[in-house]
Amino acid sequence: MGKQKVVITGAPGTGKTSIVNGLERKGFYCFHEIIRDMTSKAKQEGQSEEHISNPLVFVEDALQFNKDLLHGRTAHYRASLQTNVPISFFDRGIPDVLAYMDFFDQSYGKEFTEPCEVHRYDMVFMVPPWKEIYVSDDERLESFEEAEDIHHALMNTYTQFGYNPIEVPKDAVHKRIDFILETLKIY
């Protein structure tokens, strides 16, 4: 079957990074989210101190910020092809960039859609919004209601690119990991 590429995605604050970190502790090869570092850097360079859910307000060129994000996620995808492992997990995939652009009502063209069409993942797991565990912080700027809207944007985007995201149950991290591994028939 070749090297499997599996995305763990979801709105902010859903526990996806905890899942990816848990998979990595189990010995799986994981590509980590890059947006938190980019958002933190943008905020440090920006002027606003008020609560704003859109990290793009902190950057001079929102389109370039999204291009950088797209290129970073595409680089992760390409790097996975060079690994010597049977499966790679990704904390967010390339289509996430477009989902967020849709959420923030930004236009994009073929430069953004083509990487989503060319670089295909084998499976997508969607971690749903879960109010009981949601916490915002200095890089997670969205309210829970905005997180729910982002969840819908993610579902729509992945579906538009022909994926059928599998929803990860709301449960303890180790049970969520077990669900993913059982679905992948890893154990």
Domains within the chain, CATH numbers bracketed: 4-183 (3.40.50.300)
How much is the pLDDT for 41?
52
Query: Tens digit of pLDDT for each residue in 139-153?
Result: 556 778 888 999 999
The amino acid that residue 77 corresponds to is Y
Contact 111, 83 (CB under 8 A): no
How much is the pLDDT for 52?
41
Query: Tens digit of pLDDT for each residue in 80-102?
Result: 999 999 999 999 999 999 999 99
Could you state, in chain order, the average pLDDT of each consecutive group of 10 residues for the chain (187 residues)? Answer: 88 92 97 71 49 50 88 96 95 96 93 97 96 68 84 98 97 97 90
How much is the pLDDT for 35?
74
Contact 54, 141 (CB under 8 A): yes
How much is the pLDDT for 141?
66
